[in-house]
Structure 1
Amino acid sequence: MKIESTSTPVTSFFKTQTDDDVTRAECLFANFICEHNIAFNTADHFTKLCKLMFPDSKIAQKFHCGRTKTTQIVKKSLAPDLQKVVVDHLKNKPFSLSCDESNDTHGEKSLAVLVRYFTTEANTRFLAMPICNIGTGENIFKHLNEIFIENEIPWKNCISFMSDNCSVMTGRNNSVISRIREVQPDIFDLGCICHLANLCTVAAVKSLPLPVEDLLIYVYYHFHHSAKRKEQYKEFMDFLDVDPSKILKHCATRWLSLFRAVDRLLHHWPALKSFFVSHEDVDKPGRVKRCADLLSNPEMHMYFHFLRFILPFLMEFNTMFQADETRLPYLGQEIRLLLRKLLGKFVQAKVIKETKDITHIPFKDPALHLDDSFLAIGLSTRAYLSQHEDDVEPSAVSRFHHSIRGFYMAAVDKMVEVSLP
């Protein structure tokens, strides 16, 4: 009798319909975790919760799908099946290839490879992510070629290549695209549209005579790791009636961060200027003195007002092409529209109207430029000039207008160079 009570019934060794339903539930749950980018640790808690929520369900009582099991279902079952669907499309249909390297400086670098193809709609799918610690054109292409060979994907089906616009990826010689053209001569180098707009912005900002980006970085890192400095600064905000808000970090590799950082610094300008000018280390060489000098410079203040005016035009272009739906048919039209907007801010309207191809406008000719009073610098910049007429030297105002023309010319020059045929 004792043996019978502790023995496992023979029926427990056979699969039942309930077991199939449990397996189905576990696969659906693992797929849900991936689809919604939920932490795998959630699976441990959900398994217990499931039994409490559905005590009368046989499936719920048999449901056991912790983080380890969920991970294995994704890696060993779902991923290969979903990958096969993607590879089958790439073997038989045209597609676009996109890749980018991680910029981790402390560990191994990964090369993310995505593909985009059409069925009844546009599909962007993950293909592979090999380790690629040596970021040369030769080595990156080697990894891409190995992926194609391993999955038996013909290069002839790859019709376009998208990447950031660095020389390693898109250079004329010894780059990834130059090697791809050896196996697929008809490939189209699309580049990254958002990178193109960012390159134009970077070129234009660098043309300004004062270090705008440096000031953003100096101020941010002065407060970043110091709770004491933040508390001291609150007194200046309260005294000057500046609404408290976080000083934002500008990251050069993040396309949309510059406008937000500029706008926030302008909001804090009176309090920041007072804080750094009255700082005990203001007379010592270092970051405090640099910040005090730049914040006290009326020209720097004017450049920040101008950037708050002009950057939204470039941001609007960037955000448009970060949408989920396909916008490629509008690319040429939108680039020319942005170019026309920029030209209209410093070139005479008559010249733009009479020129059929705006890329051929001699925009560097001073005779075609607008006068200072008509140059587009923004209402807040005009208001600042009017309010500080006694504080700003005429030579500084003249230098400012000259620099703004240089800003526009640098932006247009870069746009024509990298964006238009």
Structure 2
Amino acid sequence: MRNLGGITLVSQRSRTTSSMRQHTDLSEGRSQKPARTPNKLYHTESILSLIEIILAITMGKCTFNDLWLEDCAFSSWLKPVANNRYQAYCTLCKKMFELSSLGIKALKSHAKSEKHIVAVKGLKRVQAIRQFCSAPSLTLPGPSTARDSVSVASSATHSGFGSTSTLKAEVLWVLNTVTKHQSYNGNEDIAKLFRTMFPDSDIAKTFTCGKDKTSYITRFGLADYIKKDLISKVSGPYVLMFDESLNHTSKKKQLDIYVRFWNDDKVHSRYLGSHFIGHSTAQDLLKHFKECVQQLNLSRLVSVSMDGPNVNLKFFELLQSDLNEMYGGAQLVSVGSCGLHTLHNAFKAGFSMWQVEKLLRAMHILFNNVPARREDYVTVTKSSVFPLSFCGHRWLENLPVVERALEVWPSLQLYVDAVKRKELPNPGTGSYDTIEAAQKDPLILAKLHFFATIARTFDPFLKRYQTDEPVMPFLAKDLAELIKSILRRFVKREVLQDITKLQLTKLDLSEKKNLLLPQKIDIGLGADKALKDTKISDLRVLEFRRDCMQGLTNIVRKVQEKSPLKYATVRQMACLDPSNMFRDPDRCKEQMKCLVQTFLQAKQLAGGVSAGRSSSGRGFDQS
């Protein structure tokens, strides 16, 4: 991610990673060419076909026809070949192909080739220059060398930037530098390289785009335009998302704000800006938040998405109060804090008693960046597989870490035994001492297997909801099923039968009558096998199972504490789930009425509260 003075250009993934998860601001531009009328299209194709037939008969070989360049099916990628009228050039595939006696059919055949189709799909994902071809001009302030006007002609061609060909080339090179996360210093003396590589190019002779100019065009040209373009698109209701983390370069907290809005018939999530802050009380967050979003119309703000520290909840209350005063009682729709953060913290609470993270960290640190120990390890174990790094703030992403730990544990035992026999030097570190102590614990493998089993339970949910797609309609059902899958391991089945989503958040786990006996709880096949393979007393096994039950209880309680299922809006959004619409359309209608009433009461919709009132709608609020 590179900050462009208030705008960050981020390349798009995945739908994957984080929990906030990252996107490219330059990947959403589109160009729409005017559609041809059927008669004109038919007439043009008829003429082209007739020309091809005549050429094939009279000459035996077709030549390039300039009328093809006007056809919308070919104009975006077709070019003539200089000094050879019997060939055509595809700008996407970067190749020439023969027209032979096929003529226009050769173009259609090439357009259906696998390589061309892949290239077309790739073009839709990369930065579209036409996105910036709607504004009249961009003037860069400052010295005369960088003050050239960046003309953005309203055209369907690629002549997007600058009043000169050289300036267009410089802007395109700056975009390439930023979108590929290249260093500004890498552009020093680039002009000399281009002049050497392209001695016959007039553009290369006048091209100058070193470190300073790259930074200047980015900061005062592109960033300002991109932000204005984004603000202009956020014209309807929108949601703001923010998160703060330590910036290791500036040694300050970095408050990043994203905006999610509806445009071009789909939901967009775009980076809006960042603020660097020292103190981060609720009042401080509110101040910097307002400064960052001051160009947006806050009366159209629907909700704010954030993680769940108490300071953020206090910030939300202060923002609600301000908006209430500014816009006559308008309220934000609350759906709770980030559910993924809640799950990570809940999982951490369930396994803190065993300090599994201490062992997993030690396994990685012992061999990380220590070539001598790695060589000794490979020599003794005949294995080149090493432990992975443990992530301390996203515990559920450590499933591959614990799986690798189980895989290399036998090799680690060989290494420790070799050190004890003094065949290898003793590392003498805290990491080695931790591993040596864990080797003496007969339950260590059972603990690691139980950790992996519960992490696998959460894994499908994380993969589905670490995305920028609008998945709120499915959240209530999937989160309720996730909680039930944990509860089934240690809670009696009759307790969970016909339990509603809201009741799940209020289930009292301190009532022993609701719980299974420790001997009957489900700890997973891996942990069961590890227990059978160890020679320990039944009392130790019973204590381990009680620890497992306590860990599961801690996980569920933590999820209940800040679960999105507590919020009626989250539960009512299930009415937009197509599967629910098919199975129970009447229930979905009632939930929709409740949902509309919620937005009316928050003054997010016009029409008055009575428009959304339903005599039977309140019953579904408890679902």
Q: TM-score band, normalised by the shorter chain?
A: 0.7 to 0.9
RMSD: 3.1
Q: Which residue in the other structure is 2:315 paired with?
A: 176
TM-score by length of 2: 0.57
Distance 1:301 1:211 in 2: 14
Q: Secondary structure at the residue paired with 1:110? A: strand
TM-score by length of 1: 0.82
Mapping of residues 97-246 of structure 1, within 5 Å:
97-104=240-247, 107-120=251-264, 121-149=266-294, 151=295, 153-170=296-313, 175-185=314-324, 186-187=331-332, 188=334, 190-206=336-352, 208=353, 210-224=354-368, 226-238=370-382, 243-246=383-386
Q: Which residue in the other structure is 1:84 paired with?
A: 228
Would you say the 8 A contact 2:238–2:260 is kept in 1? yes
Would you say the 8 A contact 2:238–2:259 is kept in 1? yes
Q: Which protein has the larger Cα radius of gyration, Structure 1 or Structure 2?
A: 2
Percent identity over paired residues: 23
Q: 2:411 is aligned with what amino acid?
A: A
Q: Which residue in the other structure is 2:77 paired with?
A: none
Q: 1:29–1:193: structure 2 CA closer, same or farther, 3 Å change rule?
A: farther
Structure 2 residue 499 is the aligned partner of structure 1 residue 355: yes
Displacement of 1:413: 1.4
The counterpart of 1:59, out of the listed 203, 209, 219, is 203
Distance 1:290 1:400 in 2: 20
Q: Deviations over 1:98-122 (max 9, x none)?
A: 2222324672332222222221222
Q: Secondary structure at the residue paired with 1:23? A: helix
Q: 1:211 is aligned with what amino acid?
A: Q
Q: Secondary structure at the residue paired with 1:103? A: strand
Q: Deviations over 1:8-48 (max 9, x none)?
A: xxxxxxx9x99622222222332233334333344447655
Q: 2:166 is aligned with what amino acid?
A: V
Distance 2:395 2:254 in 1: 22
Q: Which residue in the other structure is 2:537 paired with?
A: 393
Distance 2:511 2:447 in 1: 23
Would you say the 8 A contact 2:519–2:545 is kept in 1? no
Q: Can you give the 5+ residue segments of structure 1 that lack an aligned partner in the other structure?
A: 1-14
Structure 2 residue 507 is the aligned partner of structure 1 residue 376: no
Would you say the 8 A contact 1:200–1:410 is kept in 2? yes
Q: Which residue in the other structure is 1:267 paired with?
A: 407
Q: Deviations over 1:227-260 (max 9, x none)?
A: 333333334422xxxx322322212123444222
Mapping of residues 310-389 of structure 1, within 5 Å:
310-357=454-501, 359=504, 360-370=506-516, 374-388=520-534
Q: 1:95 is aligned with what amino acid?
A: Y
Would you say the 8 A contact 1:97–1:158 is kept in 2? yes
Distance 1:78 1:104 in 2: 24
Q: Which residue in the other structure is 2:140 paired with?
A: none
Distance 2:267 2:355 in 1: 42
Would you say the 8 A contact 1:177–1:189 is kept in 2? no
Structure 2 residue 168 is the aligned partner of structure 1 residue 24: yes
Q: 1:181 is aligned with what amino acid?
A: Q
Q: 1:140–1:68: structure 2 CA closer, same or farther, 3 Å change rule?
A: same
Displacement of 1:222: 3.2
Q: Which residue in the other structure is 2:66 paired with?
A: none
Q: Deviations over 1:234-291 (max 9, x none)?
A: 34422xxxx3223222121234442222112211212323434644799x99554443
Structure 2 residue 228 is the aligned partner of structure 1 residue 74: no
Distance 2:322 2:373 in 1: 58
Q: 1:368–1:254: structure 2 CA closer, same or farther, 3 Å change rule?
A: closer
Range that drifts further, 62-71 or 377-386: 62-71
Larger relative helix fraction: 1
Q: Secondary structure at the residue paired with 2:275? A: coil
Structure 2 residue 239 is the aligned partner of structure 1 residue 96: yes
Distance 2:174 2:517 in 1: 64
Q: 2:525 is aligned with what amino acid?
A: L
Q: Which residue in the other structure is 1:299 paired with?
A: 443
Would you say the 8 A contact 2:306–2:312 is kept in 1? yes
Distance 1:97 1:63 in 2: 41
Would you say the 8 A contact 1:193–1:321 is kept in 2? no
Distance 2:200 2:511 in 1: 82
